[in-house]
A and B are shown apart, each in its own frame.
Chain A
Amino acid sequence: MNLWAPLDQENIRNPFPMYATLRREAPVYKSQTGEWIISRYADVKTILKDPRFRSGNKLEWINRGITYFKSKDQDLSAIASAITSFLLLINPPEHTRIRKLITSVWNDREVDQTILENVDSLLNIKSEDNTFDIVEDFARPLPNMTICKIMGISMEHYQHLTTLSNNLVKILNLYNSFKDLVRIDSAARDFISFFRELLDIKKQRPDNDLISKLIVANASEREPLSDDALISVFIFLFIAGQETTIGLVSTSLLTLSKYPSQLNTLAGNPELMPNAIDELLRYDGPVHLLGRIASENIELGGHCIKQNDTVTLCLASANRDSRHFENADILDITRQPNRHLAFGSGIHFCLGDWLAKRQGALAIQRFLEVYPTYSIVDHTLQWNDNLSIRTLKHLSCRV
C-alpha cells in the first residue's frame, strides 16, 4: 500500500496519522511518484541545511512543461516569467543577491498600527445572526490589506489581487491538473501586467513604500535586476504571506477552540501570545510540505538519494516528531524551547517570519478581546485540497 496519499480526502482532513505512519515505518520513503518523502525532524532539518539539496525543482519542471504544452498549442509561459525570481525557488549566488536587496530596504518594522487598523475594520463587520466566517471575513482579507499598505498598492486593487494571489499560489502545490495550470497562467499574466504598470509609476515618482525602495536600491546595484526579475520579486513578496497567514490565523483559532483551558489562559495573559504563536505554528503551521532536488547522489538513512531526485520535506510532520518534542501531539502554549520548523531553516528561512508572527498575534489577540466566547459551528470542516499550504475553506463561528 502507498504510505503517501496527500490527495486522499481522509488525509486532506487530517494528515497527521499519515505523517505518524511515515515517521514510524518509513522516515525516508520512496513514493509511487518517485520522490522521496522525509518526515522526521532530524532528517528534515539536515536537508534544509545541506546545500547539496537545492531549491527550484518547480522552476525546471514548469520550463519543461511550457515547452511540452507549446507543442499542444497551449501557452503557459507567463507562469515561468512570474516565478522566475521567486526567492524560495532560486539558488545562490542569485538567491543571495536578491535576498540581500530585499533585506537592505525592508527595515521598517513599524507595522502594528497598520495591522491593528485592518484587524479592527474587519472585526467590526458582524452579520445579523451573530455568525462570523473566520476565514472569509477575517483571515483572508487581513494579510492582503496589510501587504498592500506595506508595498504601496492602493486599496482599490486589493479584491482583484486577492483572487490572483489565490490562483497563482497554487503553483507551489505538489501536483496540479491542466486546468489548474491554465488558471495559474492567467493569474500570472494579470499579476505581471499589474506590477509592470505599478513599476512604471513608482519609477517616475518613488514614495516611501517597499516597492519604491526596492526600485531605488536596485537602480544603484552594480548589476541591477531586469524589470522582469523585479516584477517577479514583487509578486512573490505579495503572495508569500497570503495563504500562509490565512492558515496561521484561522487554523490557530480552530486549534485554540479545542483547548478551552489554554484559550482562557491566553485570553487573560496576552503576554503569552508570542510563545503561543510559536506553539500554534509548531502544532499545525500552514506550510506542510517543501520541495528540494538532490544535486548529487546523497546517502540518507540507509537510502541512496540519486542526483536529480526530488525530496519532499514534511515540515508539519517534523514538528510533531516525538524524537524531538515532548508530548508532540499536544498543544502547550508555554512550551519552551520550541525550535519548530514552520518557517523552514537554512538559507531560505522565511523572510517574513516577524510580520507573520506579529500579524498572527495581533489578529488573534484582538479577536479574543472582541469575541471572547466564540464557538465553532462548522462540524464538518472543509480543507483546501492541498497539503503544501494547508488552509481551511471556511470556519464559521458564533460570536
Chain B
Amino acid sequence: MTRPQSPHDIVTFMKKVVAAEARIPDTSIDEDKSFHQFGLDSISSIYLLEKVENEYNVTISPLYFWDYPTLRLLASQIFDENFRQP
C-alpha cells in the first residue's frame, strides 16, 4: 500500500495498468484522452479500479470510470476524495 503525494502519482500508476492492458508503452498514453480511446470497457474498467483500490487501499465507485472518463479526471477525483489535506 502506498500513499500518493499528488494526483500525478495516481496518474503514473494508472498509466502502467492501462499500458499493459492496451499493449502500448506508457509514455504514449495521454492522460486527457478518454479510457475508451485506449480500448478500455466496462469489464477492463473493473480490473483497473481494482488495481488502484489495492495500490492505495481505497474504495472506488464503479461508476467513476464513466463519471471521470480520463486518467487525469479520475486521478484527481480519487486524490481529492481520499488524500487531499484539508
Contact = CB atoms under 8 A, between A and B. Distances in A.
| Range for the number of chain A residues in contact with chain B | 10 to 19
Interface string B47-86: 1011001000000111100110100000000000000000
A32 B50 CA distance: 21
Interface residues of B, number: 15
Contact of B62 (A2, A61, A177): A177
Interface in A160-191: 175-179, 181
A109 interface: no
A100 interface: no
Contact of A33 (B42, B47, B60): B42
Contacts of A7: 61-63
Given A61-B42, A68-B43, A68-B44, A177 B50 contact: yes
Contacts of B44: 68
A68 B48 CA distance: 13
B47 A72 contact: yes
Contacts of B49: 177-178
A32 B64 CA distance: 10
A178 B43 CA distance: 9
B22 interface: no
B69 to A, nearest CB: 7
Nearest to B50: A178
B82 to A, nearest CB: 16
A317 B20 CA distance: 42
A388 to B, nearest CB: 13
B35 to A, nearest CB: 12
A65 interface: yes
A378 B31 CA distance: 45
B43 A64 contact: yes
Nearest to A180: B62
Given A177-B49, A178-B49, A33 B43 contact: no
Contacts of A61: 42-43
Contacts of A179: 50, 53
B46 A32 contact: no
Contacts of B50: 177-179
Interface in A5-49: 5-7, 31-33
Contacts of B61: 7, 175
A8 B47 CA distance: 22
B63 A175 contact: yes
B81 to A, nearest CB: 12
B46 A6 contact: no
Nearest to A72: B47
Nearest to B61: A7
A129 B34 CA distance: 55
The listed residue with most B CB atoms (<10 A of its CB), out of A5, A6, A64, A178, is: A178
Interface string B8-24: 00000000000000000
A85 B62 CA distance: 27
A32 B60 contact: no
B43 A6 contact: no
A33 B63 CA distance: 8
B4 to A, nearest CB: 20
A246 B45 CA distance: 32
Contacts of B67: 2, 5, 32
A61 B69 CA distance: 20
A176 B46 contact: yes
B17 to A, nearest CB: 11
A225 to B, nearest CB: 29
A176 B62 contact: yes
A172 to B, nearest CB: 14
Contacts of A31: 66
B66 A177 contact: no
Nearest to A182: B50
B7 to A, nearest CB: 20
B68 to A, nearest CB: 10
Nearest to A181: B46
Interface in A169-227: 175-179, 181
B46 to A, nearest CB: 5
The listed residue with most A CB atoms (<10 A of its CB), out of B42, B63, B69, is: B63
18 contacts: A6-B63, A7-B63, A31-B66, A32-B66, A33-B66, A61-B43, A64-B43, A65-B46, A175-B61, A175-B63, A177-B46, A177-B50, A178-B46, A178-B47, A178-B49, A178-B50, A179-B53, A181-B46
